Structure 1
Amino acid sequence: MKKGTRQEIPRKAVYRLSLYLRCLHRLKINSIRTVSSEALAKAAGVKSTQLRKDLTYFGQFGTRGLGYDVEQLSTMISDLLGTNSLQPVILVGVGNLGSALLSYRGFEQEGFEIVAAFDAYPDRAKTRTVKQPIHGMDKMPEFIKEHSVRMAILTVPIPAAQEVTNTLVENGISGILNFAPIVLHVPEDVTVNNVNLAIELENLSYFIQH
């Protein structure tokens, strides 16, 4: 299966792969074996032309007139997203938000396991009821290398965000889910996805008022 290069593939197309995968999972639960591009696109809330275009970035899928094999397509998308086996993730910053994310059990169902957390004040953080071990920041570089971790969730205060990011990148982290409301500066081969709930609420507020 021929794939496009990292630069050729729009981030939104990769995002929509996750939408398609969830729709396919629901189809499997309902024992549906094949699905047309129109039906899958409708379930994902996109146009069928968009779905077909997205999939062509990654190879040839489906059979004209027959649609997509649900099991096969879901497996292929899982392979592309790297969620066909549990991926280790670390979390940095065990405050209220970090603790809530550590307690969330849904990540493992989607192929990700938070294997450890790190905090500037580990003894204080350890008073929180979470199953993952909580270490001091000085233990983070060694842990990343020993456990071959490539992804991190960042839930630290703004003043610490860039410095922590630098440490993560220097030790092999290449994907960061950033909850700190600040733009992080990273090398081109490192991907940062920003989650800013205030911006999302502002966006909703605009459309409510207009």
Structure 2
Amino acid sequence: MGVEEIVLLNADDEAVGTAPKSDSHHRDTPYHLAFSCYVADTEGRILITQRALGKRTFPGVWTGSCCGHPGPGEKLRDAVLRRLRDELGMPEASLTSVLPRFQYRAVAEDGTVEHERCPVVRAVVPAGGNVQANPAEVEHAEWWTWERCLELAGRPESSPWYRLQLAELAPLGAPLEWPDAGRSGLPPALGW
């Protein structure tokens, strides 16, 4: 497998280049394209994960189901499905764009910066689905009630992006009720 690259963005969320992911996350991380995904089962539970302790950025924090970086020319849907397979062993899911305009900047305790245009997607899977977490990516993966997810957003062990996303997701109701926000709000650099 080659070097994983991230898509660099300008202030208008247009692609302006690429950079190796491994060299791009530091104290001056450039603004780039990413995504977050919340996996809901048909009973309305959310898969919450703890990032692997060996991760370069924000190790050990509790967060949504998975996140990642679309590669150059990769559509959002394809990137989400790739990461669901790679991180959680999930071969299929029904995807919905929920927060297409989400972006954030966060600084880790070690000074590492995340600075991302990060559309949020909901994936729906059947209840009782088997999760096969990749230990290089995920320390723990657990199915939680929405109420427990909301409580996590008030605790410091959650990721900064999780807290910001939950502030926007909570008013939308329970996860299976989140409306499809469509694709028009996605950044110009990213197709569905």
- The alignment's TM-score, normalised by the length of structure 1, stands at 0.25
> Which structure's residues are more often strand, by fraction?
2
Structure with more relative contact order (C-alpha pairs < 8 Å, separation 6 or more): 2
> Which structure's residues are more often helix, by fraction?
1
